[in-house]
Structure formats: structure tokens, C-alpha cells
Amino acid sequence: MKTITSLHETDFHLKSTFWLSITAGTLVLPFAYYHLAYQDPVIGIGAVITSVSLYMVAWLCYKKIYKTIYTFIWLTPFTTIFVAYLTNKIGISGTYWCYSTVLLYYFMMSERQAWLSNILFILVNLPVVWQLLETTEAIRFTVTFLLVCTYSAIFLHVITRQYSELTHQAITDKLTGLYNRTLLQDSLIYAIRQAKRTKTGFTLIIMDIDHFKKINDELGHDMGDQVLIQLGAFLKSFFRESDKIFRIGGEEFLILTYNTEETDCIKMVEKLRRKIENLPLIPDRKVTVSIGVASQGSAKDWKQWMKACDENLYEAKNGGRNRVVASSVV
């Protein structure tokens, strides 16, 4: 079951990167104007390019299409060379930009990209500093700069790790280890958009354990929990890594399958139903499931798609249970 999110794919990161880019781009503009008008035009042009690049990042964040690789491929090499040129031209004043540039890397990119950008920046700029500055000044700069780099790296690592743990807890059902409802809507919306854009087939499966209340009443809730846990583990082994499996209710599961045609999916779900019926979930007792299936078809939104699949599930239950009912959205 594939991991869905990371720190750098969230609204929080997009918003923070947006405001960071706007602020940095705006603060660089006066510096650009000063050098264009009174000092070195090359530095002024470099500052303008930096500012415009930051505004472009902000625009991509606003449109929610920003990827950290954009910053890594373009801003990392450009700012590394630009700061080296700046330091070479104006001396110790140019080194002040090293600190803000490295911090920018750690806030705007993934952890690995920031590390690589940081290493490149150090390899290019430290030799320039040691060539231009007195030894004592170069030592002071090197120590303070490496401390900023180290603190930034540690901070990003801790934040990334904590965020991953919190995200996992937020999107995971504690009992089964499957996804809960948190990401369901976004996953269905993404599937509909992907299907329209690439003509890829997606199929929705909703499955309900038959007479689960009876299992709880007669055998206890501990046995009911064990059935859910074992069934969840079986679903993980049955479906592919690209498919997403959710527990959306007490005994109700939803599976979003990727790149599947309706005919093939019906055969697969029938196989699933038979396998579950033969699983030794409870000694001397069969556990069966009713399943509704709906291919994406012409669904305009996720609610319509869910409704079609729910209706098929109800039909399977009303038709005697331990059945599969399928249709596409029309």
C-alpha cells in the first residue's frame, strides 16, 4: 500500500513556501535596483533574476503545482554561482548572502535536495571566501556558516520525521493499519482527474462484512477486532502496491484500484469474495462479504462515484449477501 503524502506535498508547505518566496523576492528587489542604478549591473541583473525566480515559485505554490525539483534544478545552481560572483566582487559583504541562501534551500526543498544543494554551495563558495578574506575572517565565516548549515539540517530532519509520524497516525486506521477516511476524498478526486487526463481506468470497490454485528454479539468484540485485523492483512496482500485500501466504517472497506477495466475488475473481485469466504477467520465458521463495484465511467465528481458504488453494495446485501454487484457510472 503506497504512501500518499510527504512533508513537501502539503498545503502547509505550499503556503509556507509561497510566503517565504514572496518575502525573499521582495527584499532582494531594493538590492537589485541599487546595483543596477549605482554599482555593478551584472549583480543587479543577477538579483533581478533571483527575485523573479522566487516570484515564479510563489506563483507555482499559489496554483498548487509547485514541485521542489524546480527549485533544486534552477535556483540551486544559479544562486550558488551568483553568491560566489557576489562575494568575489564585493568581498565580505557578499558572504552575508550565504546564510540566507542556505536557509532558503532547507525551507523550500526536500531534505535530500537541501543536503545536495548545501554541499554544492559549500564546495563552490568556501574556496572563494578563503581566497579573498584574511585567514582569521575566513575561519570565523567557515565556522559560523557550517554551524548554520548543521542546525538547519538537524531542524529539517527532526521536523520531517515528526511530520511523517504524525501524518501516518492521522491517515491510518489504528486497528487494521489501512488508510482511514482522511485521504479518501482527495484520492477519489485525483483518480477522476487522472482518468480524464490519461484515459486510465480506475475502479471503486466497497466491501461490507456480512452479519458482523452478529459476530460481535455472539463471539465478543475481541473476536470481531481479530476478524477486521486479519481481513485487513489479507486485503493488503491481495491488492497491488498501487491500489489504495481504506477502512471507512466499522466493518466496511473501500478499495481504489488503479489501471483496471471493469470486466477484469469484476473477475478479480469475484476471486476476492471466494478467497475471503474460505479464509479461516473464525474457527468452524465462515465469514462472507458483500461487495459493490463501480468503474469510474463518466462520473463528474467523487460523490456520484461513491453513490453508484454504495448502491451496488446495497443491492448485493439486499440480494442475499455474499455477492458482487457491479456497474459503471453513467
Amino acid at 141: F
What's the Rg (C-alpha) of the chain?
Answer: 28
Looking at residue 285, the DSSP 8-state letter turns out to be B
For 197, phi then psi, to 5°, come to -80, -40
Distance CA 210, CA 289 (A): 5
Distance CA 188, CA 3 (A): 15
DSSP bridge partners of 245: 255
Looking at residue 172, the DSSP 8-state letter turns out to be B
C-alpha angle 219/239/177, rounded to 5°? 50
Active site residue 251: yes
Distance CA 61, CA 50 (A): 17
| Nearest one of 264, 296, 277, 102 to 193, comparing CA atoms | 296
For 173, phi then psi, to 5°, come to -75, 125
SS3 243: coil
| Residue 93: C-alpha distances to residues 36, 78, 85, 139 (Å) | 17, 19, 12, 16
Catalytic residue among 165, 218, 251, 311: 251
| Nearest one of 140, 115, 142, 149 to 128, comparing CA atoms | 142
Residues annotated as part of the active site: 251
